[in-house]
Amino acid sequence: MTTADGPSTERANPPLRNRLHPHRDLVSGSLWVVVSVGIHALSGFVFWLVAARLGDADLVGQATALFTASLFVSYATSLGLPVAIARFAPDDSDRSRDVFAHAVRATWLGAALGAGIMVAAVPASVRAPLGEIGMPLGIAVFVVVTAGIGLATLVDVRWMTLRSWRLVVWRVSLLGVVRLALVPIGDDPLWLFVLVAGAVSLSGYLGVAVICGRRLLARIERPDGVRALVRYSAVHYLGSVAVQGPTFAVPLIVLLIVPSADNAVFYVVWGIGANLNLIPHVIGQALLAEGGKSERTIASQTKVALALAAGLMIAGAAVLVVARDLVASLYGDGYEQAGTLVAILVMASIPWAVTAIALTRARVEDRSVLSSIITVSYAAGTIGATIVATRARGIRGAADAWLWANVAVAVIAIGALALMHREQRRAAAALPADAASSVGAILDVDGVSA
List pLDDT tens digits, range 341-375. Answer: 999 999 999 999 999 999 988 888 878 888 889 98
Q: Is residue 16 part of a domain?
A: no
Most confident of 71-85, 96-110, 228-242, 378-392: 378-392
Cβ(449)–Cβ(394) below 8 Å = no
Residue 432 lies in a domain: yes
Return the half-sphere exposure (C-beta side, CA atoms, 13 A cut-off) of residue 286. 29
Percent of the chain's residues with pLDDT above 90: 19
Q: What is the pLDDT of residues 24-33, one digit of tens each?
A: 666 776 677 7
Q: Assess whether pLDDT exceeds 70 at residue 9.
A: no
Q: Is residue 12 part of a domain?
A: no
pLDDT at 251 over 60: yes
In a domain, 5, yes or no: no
The pLDDT tens digits of the residues spanning 141-181 come to 999 999 899 899 888 888 877 878 788 888 888 888 888 88
- Give a yes or no: residue 240 inside a domain: yes
Number of domains the chain is built from: 1
- Under the banding of pLDDT at 50, 70 and 90, the label for residue 332 is confident
Residue 7 lies in a domain: no
Task: Answer whether 277's CB lies under 8 Å from 329's CB.
Answer: no
Q: Which helix (H) or strand (E) holds 199?
A: helix 189-212
400-425: b (≥16 Cβ within 10 Å) or e: bbbbbbbbebbebbeebbeebbeebb
Of 128, 155, 24, 12, the residue nearest 69 (C-alpha): 128
| Global confidence as pTM | 0.66
User: What is the helix, strand, coil percentage profile of the chain, to 5?
Assistant: 85, 0, 15
Taking all residues of the chain, what is their mean pLDDT, rounded to a whole number?
80
pLDDT at 443: 44
Confidence of residue 11 (pLDDT cuts 50, 70, 90): very low
C-alpha–C-alpha distance, residues 184 and 405, integer Å: 38
| Burial call 91-104: b when 16+ CB within 10 Å, e when fewer | eeeeebbbbbbbbb
Q: Please report whether residue 282 resides in a domain.
A: yes
Residue 10, pLDDT > 50, answer: no
Residue 430 lies in a domain: yes
**Which pLDDT score, from 0 to 100, does residue 221 have?**
63
Q: State the Cα–Cα distance between residues 78 and 236, nearest whole angstrom.
A: 11
Reported as a pLDDT band with limits 50, 70 and 90, residue 313 is very high
Q: Which range has the top average pLDDT, 41-45, 81-85, 235-239, 413-417?
A: 413-417
Q: How many Å apart are CA 309 and CA 332, to the nearest integer? A: 32
Domain that holds residue 278: 24-443
* Of 22, 292, 60, 75, residue with least CA distance to 196: 60
User: Which of the residue ranges 101-115, 156-170, 227-241 would you say has the lowest mean pLDDT?
Assistant: 227-241
Neighbours of 72 (CB within 10 A): 23
Confidence of residue 220 (pLDDT cuts 50, 70, 90): low
Give which of 25, 171, 162 is closest to 85, Cα–Cα. Answer: 162
Q: 315 vs 318, 320, 347, CA distance in Å?
A: 5, 9, 10
221 backbone φψ class: left, alpha, beta (φ>0; ψ -120 to 50): beta
What pLDDT is attached to residue 390?
Answer: 95
